[in-house]
Structure 1
Amino acid sequence: MPTRRVITGRSQEPRQRFVEELRLLRAAKGDSLRELGDKLGWDWSLFGKMENGHTLGSPEVVQALDQYYGTTDLLLALWELAMADPTQFKERYRRYMVLEAEAVSMWQYSPSLLPGLLQSPEYARELLMEGGLKGDELEAQVEARVGRRESLLRDDPPQFRAILSEAVLRSPLEDPGEWQAQLEHLDMMGHRLNITVQVLPSSVGLHALSNTDTMLLRGTDGQTVAWIETGYSGELVQEAAAVERLQLRYDRVRDLALSPDKSRQFIERMLEEAPCEPLT
Structure 2
Amino acid sequence: MPPRRTASDRSHSARARYAQELALLRSEKGVSLRALGDAVRADHTHLSHMEHGRSIGGPELARELDQYYGTTHLVVLWEAAAHDPSRFREQYQTYMSLEAQALGLQQYAPSIMPGLLQTEAYARNLLRAAGPIDEDALAEDVVARMSRQDLLDREDDQPEYRAIIDEAVLRRPLADPKEWLGQLAHLRHVAERPNVTLQVAPLAVGLHGLTNTDATFLWLADGRMVAYVETGYSGELVEDARNVDRLRRSYDHLRDIVLSPRESSDVITQYMEEAPCEPPG
Given the two structures, how large is their TM-score scaled by the length of structure 1?
0.67
Partner of 1:215: 216
Displacement of 1:92 in angstroms is 4.6
Distance in 1 separating the partners of 2:217 and 2:95:
11
Offset, 1:224: 0.2
Q: Name the counterpart of 1:193.
A: 194
SS at match of 2:254: helix
Letter in 2 for 1:153: D
Task: Provide the rounded CA distance (Å) in 2 between the counterparts of 1:207 and 1:92.
Answer: 26
Report deviation, 1:134.
Answer: 2.7
Equivalence for 2:142: 142
Matched AA of 1:140: E
CA distance in 1 between partners of 2:134 and 2:211 (Å): 31
- The separation in 1 between residues aligned to 2:267 and 2:238, in whole angstroms, is 32
Determine if the alignment matches structure 1 residue 115 to structure 2 residue 114: yes
What is the distance in 2 between the residues matched to 1:94 and 1:110? 20
The equivalent of 1:173 in structure 2 is: 174
Letter in 1 for 2:165: L
TM-score if structure 2 supplies the norm length? 0.67
Point out where structure 2 has 5 or more consecutive residues left out of the alignment: 1-88
Partner of 2:225: 224
CA distance in 1, matches of 2:236, 2:123: 21
In the TM superposition, what is the alpha-carbon distance from 1:154 to its structure 2 partner? 1.5
Letter in 2 for 1:238: E
Q: In terms of mean alpha carbon deviation, does 125-134 or 174-183 score higher?
A: 125-134
Alignment of 1:1-280 (within 5 A): 91-132=90-131, 133-156=133-156, 157-280=158-281
Q: What is the identity, as a one-letter code, of the residue corresponding to 1:197?
A: L
Give the deviation of 1:270 after TM superposition: 1.1
* AA aligned opposite 2:146: V
Q: Give distance in 1, aligned partners of 2:152 and 2:230.
A: 21
SS of 2:99's equivalent? helix
SS at match of 1:113: coil
Tell me, in whole angstroms, the C-alpha distance in 1 between the residues paired with 2:198 and 2:280.
28
For residues 257 and 155 of structure 2, the distance between their equivalents in structure 1, rounded to whole angstroms, comes to: 32
Could you give the per-residue CA deviations for residues 26-56 of structure 1, whole angstroms, max 9, x where no partner exists? xxxxxxxxxxxxxxxxxxxxxxxxxxxxxxx
Q: Provide the secondary structure at the position in 2 that maps to 1:209.
A: coil
Q: Quick check: 2:91–2:236 contact (8 Å CA) kept in 1?
A: no
Relative contact order (alpha carbons < 8 A, sep ≥ 6): 1 or 2 greater?
2
- Whole-Å separation in 2 of the counterparts to 1:136 and 1:233: 24
Q: How far is 1:256 from its partner?
A: 1.5
With 191-200 and 127-136 compared, the bigger mean Cα shift is at 127-136
1:205 to partner: Cα distance: 0.8
Q: Percent identity?
A: 52
Deviates more, 1:193-202 or 1:90-99: 90-99
Secondary structure of the corresponding residue to residue 148 of structure 1? helix
Query: Matched residues in 2 for 1:236 and 1:212: separation?
Result: 13
Q: Name the CA distance, whole Å, in 2 between partners of 1:201 and 1:187.
A: 17
Q: Give the distance between the partners of 2:122 and 2:90, measured in 1 at CA.
A: 22
- CA distance in 2 between counterparts of 1:279 and 1:251 reads 40
What is the Cα deviation at residue 198 of structure 1?
0.1
Distance in structure 2 (CA, Å) of the matches to 1:210 and 1:182: 23
Q: Letter of the 1:256 partner, please give it.
A: I
How large is the RMSD of aligned CA atoms in angstroms?
1.0
Quote the offset at 1:120 in angstroms. Answer: 0.2
Match of 1:225, SS state, is: strand
Alpha-carbon shift at residue 91 of structure 1 (Å): 4.8
Cα deviation, residue 114, structure 1: 0.5
For this pair of structures, how many residues does the alignment match? 191
Report the Cα distance in structure 2 between the residues aligned to 1:170 and 1:262, rounded to whole angstroms: 17
Letter in 1 for 2:140: A
Distance 2:91 2:121 in 1: 24
**1:154 is paired with a residue of what secondary structure?**
coil
